[in-house]
Amino acid sequence: MFGGDDMVHLTVSGHPGSGTSTLVANLCAKRGWSFLNGGAVFRSISEERGISLEEFSALCDSEPDVDKSLDQRLITAMIEENGPEIVESRLSGWWAYREKINCLRLWISVTPEERAKRVVKREGGSQTDALSRIHGRMQTDQIRYHNLYEISLENLTPYNLIINSDTLSANEVTELVEAELMKRGV
C-alpha cells in the first residue's frame, strides 16, 4: 500500500501555469478526494492584506515567519489524521520528501513560454506581460526558497514522478497520474 490511510497520497507541484490546479480538480472529481492548495492559502492571505501576489511574495522575504507558517500548515495537513489526500504547492513534494512521507510526489514541468500562453488564456492580457511576470515571480520565489530552506526549484530530487506537460492536454496528464496511482495501489 502506498501512503497511509490517514496521510496524504499525492503532492502536486509545479510553477504557476503548469496545470497543477486543473489536475487536482480532475483527480478530486474522479476520486472524491479532498485537497489543500498552498497557492490558494497564499493568495487568500495576500488578498486579506490588500496586496498583490508579487508584493506578498516580497513581503515574505522580509517576514520569513509568514512563509514558514504557511509551509508548516501544509506539512501538518500531510500527516494529520483525516487530512487531505492531495496537497498542492510548489514545495509540497519537498516537504513530503523531507518528512519521509510515502506518497506520490509529482512535479509538472512546463516551459515558461507555454505557461505564459496558459495564463493569458485563463486571465487575459498579453503574452509578453505574462512571461515577464512569470520570470519575475520565479526569480523572487527562487531567492526566497533558497534563503528560507536552501531549496532550488530546479532540483527535482524529491519527486518520484515528473511529467512534462508542454504538449499534453489536461486529460492526458490526469490519465498519467491516475495510472501511476493505480500502479502504486492507491
pLDDT digits (tens, 9 = 90+) for 20-47: 999 999 999 999 999 999 878 788 888 8
152: number of Cβ within 10 Å: 11
Looking at the domain assignment, is residue 1 inside a domain? no
Its domain, for residue 36, covers 10-178
Tens digits of pLDDT across the chain (186 residues): 344 455 899 999 998 888 999 999 999 999 999 999 987 878 888 888 899 888 887 787 788 888 888 888 889 989 988 899 999 999 999 999 999 999 999 999 999 999 999 889 888 999 999 999 989 888 888 888 898 899 999 999 999 999 999 999 999 999 999 999 999 999
Q: How many domains does the chain have?
A: 1
Q: Tell me, what CATH number does 69's domain have? A: 3.40.50.300
C-alpha pair distances (Å), 135 with each of 7, 17, 111, 131: 34, 12, 11, 6
The residues with which 2 forms a beta bridge, in sequence order, are: none
Looking at the domain assignment, is residue 148 inside a domain? yes
CB 17 within 8 A of CB 118: yes
The order of strands in the sheet holding 10-14 is 35-37, 86-88, 10-14, 104-109, 161-164
d(CA 111, CA 106): 16
pLDDT of residue 6: 56
d(CA 162, CA 114): 17
Looking at the domain assignment, is residue 140 inside a domain? yes
Looking at the domain assignment, is residue 186 inside a domain? no
Looking at the domain assignment, is residue 2 inside a domain? no
Q: Terminal CA-to-CA distance of the chain, rounded, Å?
A: 7
Looking at the domain assignment, is residue 137 inside a domain? yes
C-alpha pair distances (Å), 45 with each of 40, 63, 137: 9, 13, 17
Looking at the domain assignment, is residue 59 inside a domain? yes
Looking at the domain assignment, is residue 133 inside a domain? yes
- Quote the pTM value: 0.86
